[in-house]
Amino acid sequence: MSDIRIRAERPDDREAVYDINAAAFPTETEARLVDHMRALGGPTVSLVAEDDDGVLGHALFTAVTVNAGERDADAGLMALGPLAVRPERQRDGIGGRLVQSGVEACKAAGAAAVFVLGPAEFYPRFGFEPAQDRGFFFRNRQFDPHFFVLPLKPAALEGLSGEVVYAPVFDEA
């Protein structure tokens, strides 16, 4: 196996990123979501994993807020998703490398925490913990057992709790 490199997404990666997301999920919803988020701009971290054969995986981190009742809190919070790896290369550690590199990029950008909705058997190995244990929840409470947070700064989430609100395009994609 050739060396896998993680780097920032470039404009010429768009088609490969779309194809990876379309192949990794049952529908093209996530692929369209990435295109929509790219068009909106805003604070994002978009990484690809590649080897000598081309792009193998993609991770997108976007800004989120917390609906804390009387106010919305924007404390430099990010959310991971989607995370996609070519089906034939899944379970090769590529997704994990994308998660770790993305978390580091978010930390370098000054983010306070990263949220993710995903498999309970995958994200805790990277330090993510159940978001509900810290008072955060996803808009659809049935997904709370699969909703995680990783604080990136000491006391980053102190005094903050509530519904984590993603960009509206996540509901529309």
Q: Give pLDDT, residue 60.
A: 96
Encode the chain (173 residues) as per-residue pLDDT tens digits. Answer: 459 999 999 999 999 999 999 999 999 999 999 998 888 876 689 999 999 989 999 999 999 999 865 544 566 899 999 999 999 999 999 999 999 999 999 999 999 999 999 999 999 999 999 999 999 999 888 999 999 999 999 888 888 899 999 887 777 65
> For position 39, what pLDDT does the model report?
82
- pLDDT score, position 68: 67
What's the whole-model pTM score?
A: 0.92
Q: Which architecture does CATH list for 5-172?
A: 3-Layer(aba) Sandwich (3.40)
Q: What is the pLDDT of residue 1?
A: 44
Closest CA to 102 of 139, 150, 66, 165: 150
Rounded to an integer, what is the distance from CA 8 to the centroid of its chain?
Answer: 14
Quick one: which H or E segment has residue 106? helix 94-108
The alpha carbon of 41 is separated from its chain's Cα centroid by a whole number of angstroms, namely 15
> What is the secondary structure of 9-67 as a DSSP string?
--GGGHHHHHHHHHHHSSSSHHHHHHHHHHHH-SSEEEEEEEETTEEEEEEEEEEEEEE
Going from N- to C-terminal start, the domains of the chain cover 5-172
